């Protein structure tokens, strides 16, 4: 209901954007916010955010900057990057989501550096100065309890996915096509082997492949598990957690008993952003306590040291393993090739 109302509000404000009488939220403006009249025009946001996340982003933005209209292009990060690269008139101002600390310089050609006004409050920083992190991504399994019950199995971690009853009932995202698929592969290799990227970890991957269906979209993973198409999905945490918090979902989240990994994810300003002021204002807002608290309410782990804890389990109980970003950056292609070869062998 709340979200419905929020939609209604968004809907109303969206319609009135030309109308100067829209009352600006006066009173205590947040310290990071620029003047209402300073941020105007249209801000074109290219984002990997799912709808519920987009909703809260727009809600706060329209409160703080009522005179600047946001246009959203949502897709997976590779598609967004290709679209920006191939379209000089894309008009992209910011890219939000899908950009991870381990990506190195992969997207630098379409971005420009910017240091957020709130950089000092953040727990993670990009040494290159391009990305501003607002999210900490941990991984999880999404399960459909009804189907698990029907099949008579319980799932507590990666090892449980090898049960014969689950054959064909598991969905995972292709690490070569989806950033969350790549993150899951990292997590499996960090938790299932004796050391990262060792034979033991890959042996597990091979067995898991025989059980699983592969999709290109991370959104398929949780949506199809929720709809009962699959029993278990290998997902990232925040979006399915948000959907569950929104109410009405069948799926549940299971944190792998074998352990987990965390990685800061963020946003950046597009190269040649037509509305640079608004783009900077957006990056500032993403790091703010206000935005991160709204995300926390919906289930999102914030990067701002002052933001409140979400209802998600504390990271200390997840059994986090460290990841070597430099190693990931240089060995990504090799690992993905290995994945593809194994997949071809198994199928």
Partner 1 sequence: MKQIRRFDFWSAASLTILGLFGLFLIYPLGGLLKEAVFLPEKGFTLDAFRKFFGKSYYYSTIFNSFRIALTVMFLCLLLGIPFSYFYTFYKLKGRKFLFVLCLLCTMSAPFIGAYAWILLMGNNGLITNVLKGLGVRKFSIYGFGGIVLVQTLKLFPLVVIYMNGAFRNIDSSLMEAAESMGCKGVDRFFRVLLSLTMPTILAAALLVFMRSFADFGTPLLIGRGYTTFPVLIYNEYLGENGSDYHFAAAVSIIAVGVTGLFFLIQKLANSRFKFTMNAMHPVTAVNPKKVSGIFMHIYCYAVVAISMLPQVYIIYMSFRKYNNSILLPGYSLVNYQKAWSKSLLRATGNTLFISFATLAVIIMVAVLIAYLVVRRSNIINQAIDTISMLPYIMPGAVVGIALVIVFSHKPLCIAGTLGIMIVALAIRRLPFTSRSATATMMSISPSIEEAAISLGASKLASFVKITVPMMSNGIISGAVLSWVSIITEMSSGVILYNNRTITLTIGTYVAINNGVYGVAAAFATVTTLLTIVCLVVYLKFTRLEDIRM
> Least separation, in Å, of the C-beta of 45 and partner 1?
9
Q: Does 175 bind partner 1 (CB under 8 A)?
A: yes
> Least separation, in Å, of the C-beta of 239 and partner 1?
9
> Least separation, in Å, of the C-beta of 95 and partner 1?
13
For residues 118 and 172, which CB has a smaller minimum distance to partner 1 in the complex?
Answer: 172
> Least separation, in Å, of the C-beta of 111 and partner 1?
16
Q: Does 229 bind partner 1 (CB under 8 A)?
A: yes
Q: Which of residues 303-332 bind partner 1 (CB under 8 A)?
A: 332
Please check whether residue 35 is in contact with residue 62, taking contact to mean a CB–CB distance below 8 angstroms. Answer: no
For residues 203 and 227, which CB has a smaller minimum distance to partner 1 in the complex?
Answer: 227
Q: Does 211 bind partner 1 (CB under 8 A)?
A: no
Q: x/- binding map, residues 96-135, to partner 1, per CB under 8 A?
A: --x-------------------------------------
What CA–CA distance (Å, rounded) separates 92 from 84?
A: 7
> Angle at the Cα of 70 (from 139 to 180), degrees rounded to 5?
15
Please check whether residue 208 is in contact with residue 337, taking contact to mean a CB–CB distance below 8 angstroms. Answer: no
For residues 4 and 28, which CB has a smaller minimum distance to partner 1 in the complex?
Answer: 4
For residues 116 and 144, which CB has a smaller minimum distance to partner 1 in the complex?
Answer: 144
List the one residue from 24, 72, 342, 346 that touches partner 1 (CB under 8 A).
72
> Least separation, in Å, of the C-beta of 281 and partner 1?
19
List the one residue from 33, 74, 269, 286 that touches partner 1 (CB under 8 A).
74
Q: Does 41 bind partner 1 (CB under 8 A)?
A: no
Q: Which stretch binds partner 1 (CB under 8 A): 68-76, 112-120, 255-263, 282-290?
A: 68-76
The three-state DSSP-derived secondary structure of the chain is: CHHHHHHHHHHHHHHCCCCCCCCCCCCCCCCCCCCCCCCCEEEEEEECCCHHHHHHHHHHHHHHCCCEEEEEEECCHHHHHHHHHHCCCCCCCEEEEEEEHHHCCCCHHHEECCCCCCHHHECCCCCCCCCEEEEEEEEEEEECHHHHHHHCCCCCCCHHHHCHHHCCCEEEECCCCCHHHHHHHHHHHHHCCCCCCCHHHHHHHHHHHHHEEEECCHHHHHHHHHCCCCCEEEEECHHHHHHHHHCCCCCEEECCCCCECEEEEEEEEECCCCCHHHHHHHHHHHCCHHHHHHHHHHCCCECECCCCCCCCCCHHHCCECCCCHHHHHHHHHHHHHHHHHHHHHHC
List the one residue from 247, 316, 317, 322 that touches partner 1 (CB under 8 A).
247
List the one residue from 62, 122, 179, 211 that touches partner 1 (CB under 8 A).
179
Q: Does 154 bind partner 1 (CB under 8 A)?
A: no
Residues at the contact surface with partner 1, assessed by CB under 8 A: 3-4, 7-8, 10-11, 14, 44, 50-52, 55, 71-79, 81-83, 86-91, 98, 175-179, 182, 213-217, 219, 223, 226-230, 243, 246-249, 332, 336, 340, 343-344, 347
């Amino acid at each position: 209901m709340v979200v419905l109302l929020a939609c209604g509000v968004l809907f109303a404000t969206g319609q009135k954007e030309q109308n100067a009488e829209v009352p600006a939220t006066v009173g205590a403006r947040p310290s990071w916010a620029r003047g209402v009249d300073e941020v105007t025009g249209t801000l074109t946001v290219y984002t990997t955010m799912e709808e519920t996340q987009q909703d809260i982003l727009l809600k706060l933005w329209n409160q703080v900057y009522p005179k600047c209209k946001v246009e959203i292009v949502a897709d997976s990060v590779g598609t967004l990057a290709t679209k920006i690269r191939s379209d000089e008139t894309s008009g992209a101002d910011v890219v939000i989501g899908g950009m991870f600390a381990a990506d190195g310089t992969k997207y630098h050609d379409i971005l420009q550096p910017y240091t957020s006004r709130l950089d000092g409050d953040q727990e993670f920083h990009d040494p290159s100065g391009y990305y501003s992190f607002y999210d900490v991504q941990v991984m999880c399994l999404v399960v459909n309890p009804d189907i698990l019950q029907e099949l008579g199995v319980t799932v507590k971690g990666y090892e449980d996915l090898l049960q014969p009853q689950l054959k064909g009932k598991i969905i995972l995202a292709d690490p070569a096509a989806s950033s969350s698929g790549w993150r899951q592969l990292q997590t499996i290799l960090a938790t299932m082997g004796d050391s990262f990227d060792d034979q033991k970890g890959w042996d597990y991957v091979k067995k898991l492949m025989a059980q699983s269906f592969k999709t290109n979209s991370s959104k398929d993973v949780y949506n199809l598990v929720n709809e009962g198409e699959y029993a278990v999905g290998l997902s990232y945490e925040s979006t399915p957690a948000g959907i569950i918090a929104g109410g009405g979902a069948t799926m549940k989240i299971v944190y792998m008993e074998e352990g987990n990994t965390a990685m800061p994810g963020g946003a950046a300003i597009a190269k040649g952003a037509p509305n640079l002021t608004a783009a900077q204002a957006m990056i500032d807002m993403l790091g703010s306590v206000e935005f991160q608290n709204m995300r926390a309410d919906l289930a999102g782990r914030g990067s701002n040291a002052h933001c409140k804890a979400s209802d998600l389990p504390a990271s200390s109980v997840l059994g986090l393993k460290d990841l070597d970003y430099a190693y990931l950056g240089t060995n990504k292609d090799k690992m993905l090739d290995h994945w593809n070869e194994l997949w071809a062998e198994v199928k």
